[in-house]
């Protein structure tokens, strides 16, 4: 079962996933959450609490993120080796940076886009 939480961290949209992301319905749920975020908003996808990521779901995430990166920055966060491996197999790392913490994600977004979270706060 996939559990999603949407919030804002340092001026960036954040979608945190927990549980497992392995079925088409799970991928559709994550896609719907991503589509809810305005396309020109920077987004952090936090997968640190994700227990399982299927190869098909990783590829679907790659496709969803590929649609966003023309407009704004996106970064995926995970510190789980098994999830990281599926992200690499699904080529997510070729589309967006994959980092180990939310603070690193915010730093990457700031460096790549000139985004200053202090201006938002």
pTM (two decimals):
0.92
Whether 117 has a pLDDT exceeding 60, the answer reads no
Whether 24 has a pLDDT exceeding 60, the answer reads yes
Q: What domain range is 73 assigned to?
A: 2-120
**Residue 47: which of 74, 11, 73, 68 has the closest Cα?**
74
Residue 83 is inside which H or E element, if any?
A: helix 81-89
Share of the chain above pLDDT 70, in %: 94
**Cβ-Cβ contacts under 8 Å for 119 (sequence gap 6 or more):** 11
43-53 and 2-9 beta bridge pairing: unpaired
How sure is the predictor about 83, in pLDDT bands with cuts at 50, 70 and 90? Answer: very high
Whether 115 has a pLDDT exceeding 70, the answer reads no
pLDDT value for 52: 95
Average pLDDT over every residue of 46-65: 96
Which CATH number characterizes residue 22's domain?
A: 3.30.750.24
Q: Please tell me the total count of domains within the chain.
A: 1
């Amino acid at each position: 079962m996939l559990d999603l939480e949407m919030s804002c961290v340092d001026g960036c949209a954040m979608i945190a996933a927990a549980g497992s992301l392995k079925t088409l319905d799970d991928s559709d749920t994550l896609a719907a959450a991503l589509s809810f975020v305005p396309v020109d908003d920077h987004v952090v996808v936090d997968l640190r609490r994700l227990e399982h990521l299927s190869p098909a779901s990783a590829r679907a995430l790659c496709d969803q993120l590929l649609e966003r990166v023309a407009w704004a920055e996106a970064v995926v966060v995970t510190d789980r080796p098994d999830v990281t491996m599926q992200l690499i197999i699904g080529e997510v790392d070729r589309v967006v940076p994959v980092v180990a913490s939310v603070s690193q994600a915010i730093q990457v977004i700031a460096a790549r886009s000139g985004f200053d979270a202090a201006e938002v706060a």
